[in-house]
């Protein structure tokens, strides 16, 4: 039985300089991840365009990729985050719309703990949206790359081209502000 070995991203990018079609594998690996992240931030319509733009930019700049990094996710998230920053106003409007669309908790009644937790989370959705919209762009980017992008602190630092200490301080500040906006309660945890 022959086992296929998945090449690291830097080798794939280097190969794409000789064979441009090899870059498609990078798209196959990460487009879904980037789409889900962007869709949560900006909605599905914008996500598709921005993910496509991210890979077009990455392809155009692939010769400048630092091959000492075997994982291209932070590089791609960095490109995507810059594109998202251009859509900041649209993103803030989405959070405001998200807040307005939160259904009142009074319409849902159930004795089950799981349903109750879901209702609490749904009721807090609007408050969360407002809290996210109130964060500075830098704090919001760090928080969402960690929470929704599943990036490590090091990956966020690389994606945003900031020191890891800045990632830690922004994340701490963002978490504090969001927690305070939610009344120092995590709606996903029981009482």
Domain ranges of the chain: 9-86, 88-191
- Mind listing the pLDDT tens digit for each residue in 87-134? 766 666 766 777 676 555 444 444 444 444 444 444 456 777 888 888
How far apart CA 132 and CA 2 sit, in angstroms, is 48
- Nearest residue to 70 via CA among 146, 133, 14, 130: 14
Distance CA(71)–CA(10), nearest Å, equals 7
Give 4's pLDDT tier (boundaries 50, 70, 90): very low
Q: Does domain 88-191 have CATH number 1.10.10.10?
A: yes
Q: What average pLDDT does the chain have?
A: 82
CATH 1.10.1740 correct for 9-86? yes
Which of 24-56 are b and which e, b meaning 16 or more Cβ less than 10 Å from the residue's Cβ? Answer: ebbbeebbeebbbbbbebbbeebbeebbeebbe
What's the pLDDT score for residue 175? 93
* pTM > 0.85: yes or no: no
Domains 9-86 and 88-191 share a fold: no
pLDDT score of 118: 47
């Amino acid at each position: 039985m022959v086992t296929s070995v998945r090449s690291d991203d830097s080798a794939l990018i280097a190969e794409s300089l000789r064979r441009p079609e090899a870059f498609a594998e990078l798209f196959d690996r990460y487009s879904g991840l980037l789409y889900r992240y962007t869709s949560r931030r900006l909605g599905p319509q914008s996500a598709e365009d921005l993910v496509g733009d991210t890979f077009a930019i990455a392809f155009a700049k692939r010769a400048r990729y630092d091959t000492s990094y075997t994982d291209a996710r932070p590089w791609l998230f960095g490109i995507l985050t810059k594109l998202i920053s251009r859509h900041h106003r649209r993103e803030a409007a989405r959070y405001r719309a998200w807040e307005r669309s939160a259904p009142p908790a009074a319409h849902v009644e159930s004795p089950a703990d799981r349903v109750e937790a879901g209702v609490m989370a749904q009721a807090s959705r609007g408050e969360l949206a407002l809290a996210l919209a109130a964060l500075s762009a830098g704090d919001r980017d760090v928080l969402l790359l960690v929470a929704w992008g599943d990036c490590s602190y090091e990956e966020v630092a690389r994606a945003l081209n900031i020191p890891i200490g800045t990632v830690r301080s922004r994340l701490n500040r963002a978490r504090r502000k969001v927690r305070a906006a939610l009344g120092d309660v995590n709606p996903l945890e029981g009482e």
